[in-house]
Structure 1
Amino acid sequence: MKKNVYITGYLPLFSIILFSSAFAIHIERLLIVKLKYFGVYQGMREMFSTQTIHLSAGFCLFLLFFMSLAALKLLSDSVMQLGLFFFSSDTEGETLRKTRQGGWIFFVGAMIAVVLNFSFAVILSVFAVSAIVYFFYFLLKASAHMGTVNLIGMVFLQLFFWAAFGLVTAYTVIRLYNALMAGIAS
């Protein structure tokens, strides 16, 4: 039987869909509780059915998380390939073909996240563990085409990019929050 090399091509999309669903289901439950607490939910029920409110909130949250995770996937792929460009001796793309099976790591993690969607921290932890396991899987597969110094360079490129990205994002969110609070206070 002939093996199809494209069999795992759908895994990133399904992983993003499942992780987005897990995050959206959990946040939708919290959102409904907060809407009830602030008294907005009853007013919404006068205009829409309960199912419509839940589906609309869940779908909007799903889209938000889907777009965010798809953007992170795009960044991740770009940084991985940039690292391979700088540090790998592979010019034929063999490393990328070898690492395609790593999509199963995120897919299994996404299925676990859907099942364990009772806590945002648990879902985020499953996502982080999946990303770390995939990174080590990638390094293991890529090490065949890299020396020790190049492998260290690849690790530092990844660490530098994601740390810078995280810090810039956190700084921006804090600045926006402070501006919002200052606007409300005045």
Structure 2
Amino acid sequence: MNLPNKLTILRMIMIIPFVVFMLVPIGGAGKWIALALFVIASLTDLLDGKIARKYNLVTTFGKFMDPLADKLLVCSALICLVEMGKIPAWIVIIIVSREFIISGFRLVASDKGVVIAAGYWGKFKTTFQMVMIVLMIADIPVLSLVTTIVMWAALILTVVSLVDYLVKNKDCLKDQK
């Protein structure tokens, strides 16, 4: 197993302590530990991709598991934020639904021998979602307007990236006899 794939697995493992620190009342330090874990996990996403491309370590495992690790991290954080009353559930439902649709689409494509890597809009969407989550965890009152704007941008990018993904890969849905 190469380094980028190990970083992807590390990101998935980090979700467990992240959720614990988000939801278990540990005093004022809990949210900051959760924030640090989320930022570190998010940075492993950037790092594993750069290493994989630079050293030609791109694998089928990485193409499938890297986006899955991102989805697990982001969805876990969003569910925690709903539990904490920091984001409306309907927004999270839209974001999580997009992730399920794309995952289903990837399964159909892989059944046909096609591996679809993350696209530009998906990466942009993920970046905005992660920034939104960082702002919501930090919960700094002076940044509440910025947090709201980033939340709406992340939601819009979620929908745009879904439409872009479906349009670009619509041929994967066609039955071939």
> Aligning the two structures, in what range does the TM-score lie when normalised by the shorter sequence?
0.3 to 0.5
**Higher normalized contact order (CA 8 Å, seq sep 6+, divided by chain length):** 1
Larger radius of gyration: 1
Normalised TM-score (structure 2):
0.38
